[in-house]
Amino acid sequence: MSYAESMKRLEEIVAALEAGGTELDETLKLFEEGSKLLKECKNELTAAEGKVEKLRLEDVE
Amino acid sequence: MAGEPVEVGQYVSLARKALVNDPYLANAAIIGELTKLTLARSGHAYFTLTDNNGSIDCVFFGGNNSFISQEIKEGSKLVALGGIDVYVKTGRMQFKASRVQPVKSIGEMERIRQELIVKWREDGTMDRVRLEAPLIPKRLHIITGEGSAALADMERLIADRWPGFSYTVIPVLVQGSQSPGEIVRALKAAGKSADLIILGRGGGSPEDLWSFNLESVCKAIIDCPVPVVSAVGHESDFLVSDMIADIRASTPSNAIERVIPIKQELLALISQAGDRVDFAIDRIFSKQNERISNIVIRLSAAPMRGISNAKLKRSQIGNRINSAVDRFFMSQKNRITAFDSILTSTNPTRVLDRGYSMAINEEGIPITSVVGLKSGDSLTVVLKDGRVQTEVKE
């Protein structure tokens, strides 16, 4: 799942949880999925960090 | 230090090899004044390109038509595309052209630009589906002039928005006759590994920015499998690359603002989502808790009602239930006492107490008959005060 997809799904989960009315089982499942997505999103931010690279045209061809 | 002497032919061959294998020399566009043009009967064109600092003989095999159709005459400024070669027999260096193009006036260039725009409007290229930039580019490639102000601006802005953000820079010439070729090559290379490309250049004269109006460069943007941001010149410059790129940024800095998120904002969004999840969960659980405690209260009230009902009934029906229950318990009690005495009397240890013994097999089951026993079977004999291991003899 891309970052954008993860955030979108997270938004759905938050909306579902906020609306309430889900069964306890479902609630726990949503909570678990939401926590997992939050962690993934945070990891995604770290993954974007690293170094700046300079490539010569001759080297990339 | 010079080594053993080599033969001239071998030496020139080596020199030729070094030259033709140099990727820069092997694939270049050179610009100069056209002199000594000969259109040979064979169809090959021989000419010389000259400027104030240098000169080179050129050949364009089968190039006569190119010169004729483009009405290229001696004395005009010419761009030749091709590569270096050496004729080993004479040691003469020459430029093997594969394409020639007269250098046009700005009026002519503008006419070609307009034609290109019209062509791409009509064939639908302008309306093609644009690629979207990823929310967080993981392999951003910036194609721009080495050491340019545009690059410095972009680098500074990236560091502001997202310290430590990783990206790749491919330096290219962003103006001059070499520029289009380099940009095309860089786009092709970046298209293989990037997930987003920024093609950037700072402001300049229309001629300086002209690479971004050329069909070859724009075609490379269109053909690129990765989303390309065109970020050329100032706000007011509007180039063909801006029209056909996936994303148009008004300036290189604007490109960064459009595609690099602010890390702190993303973090805030994530923690906000986390807070909302926590809050919603808390609410759901306290609601559930409330329901559970409601049920508990109702449950604990329920038997009380049952008991008071029973009391009422008892008072109505009198002692009949009471005595029936008593009778039931009485009979059960009697049965238990009876069982107990039977069990006590049949307890085998009581028999052992009287001097009998009992044989059991390995599973602990008493042996009551010789049927099934054979010589060699092992038996355990249980006596009043212990067990002995025995074996059947006959």
Do B284 and A22 meet the contact criterion of CB atoms below 8 Å apart? Answer: yes
Q: Are residues B55 and B86 in the same domain?
A: yes
Given a cut of 70, the residues of chain A with pLDDT beneath it are 61
Question: CA-to-CA distance for B367 and B365, rounded, in angstroms?
Answer: 6
Ranges assigned E (strand) in chain B: 28-39, 45-50, 55-60, 77-87, 92-102, 140-144, 167-171, 196-201, 228-232, 247-249, 358-360, 378-383, 386-391
Helices (H), B21-176: 23-26, 64-69, 106-122, 149-161
Q: Are residues B73 and B154 in the same domain?
A: no
Burial (0-12, 13-18, 19+ Cβ within 10 Å), B233: buried
Q: Is residue B308 part of a domain?
A: no
Q: Are residues B154 and B288 in the same domain?
A: no
Q: Are residues B91 and B120 in the same domain?
A: no
The answer to whether A45 contacts chain B (CB < 8 Å) is yes
Residue of B276, B279, B290 to mutate, interface with A, max A Cβ within 10 Å: B276
- Each residue's pLDDT, cut to its tens digit, for chain B (394 residues) gives 577 889 999 999 999 999 999 888 888 889 999 999 999 999 999 999 999 899 999 999 998 888 887 778 888 888 899 999 999 999 999 999 998 888 876 777 888 899 999 999 999 999 999 999 999 999 999 999 999 999 999 999 999 999 999 999 999 999 877 788 899 999 999 999 999 999 999 998 888 898 999 999 999 999 999 999 999 988 777 899 999 999 999 999 999 999 999 999 999 988 888 888 888 888 877 777 777 777 777 766 665 555 566 566 555 555 555 556 566 666 666 666 665 665 555 555 556 666 677 788 877 777 777 777 888 888 888 777 778 888 887 7
Q: Is residue B75 part of a domain?
A: yes
Question: CA-to-CA distance for B313 and B321, rounded, in angstroms?
Answer: 9
State residue B317's pLDDT score.
55
Q: Are residues B115 and B97 in the same domain?
A: no
Question: How close, in Å, is residue B48 to chain A by CA atoms?
Answer: 28
Write out chain A residues lying below 8 Å of B132, CB-based. Answer: none
B 261-300 residues with CB < 8 A to A: 263, 266-267, 269-270, 273-274, 276-277, 279-281, 283-284, 287-288
Between A and B, how many CB-CB pairs are < 8 A?
104
Q: Are residues B235 and B267 in the same domain?
A: no
State residue B169's pLDDT score.
96
What pTM does this model have? 0.57
Domain count, chain B: 4
Q: Are residues B33 and B56 in the same domain?
A: yes
Residues of the domain holding B48: 8-103
Q: Is residue B311 part of a domain?
A: no
Question: CA-to-CA distance for B358 and B373, rounded, in angstroms?
Answer: 15
Q: Are residues B209 and B291 in the same domain?
A: no
Residue of A11, A22, A30, A52 to mutate, interface with B, max B Cβ within 10 Å: A52
User: Three-state DSSP class for B384?
Assistant: coil
State residue B351's pLDDT score.
60
State residue B393's pLDDT score.
79
Q: Are residues B276 and B239 in the same domain?
A: no
Nearest CA in chain B to A33: B277
Q: Are residues B244 and B120 in the same domain?
A: yes
CATH code: domain of residue B175 = 3.40.50.10550
Write out chain A residues lying below 8 Å of B267, CB-based. Answer: 42, 45
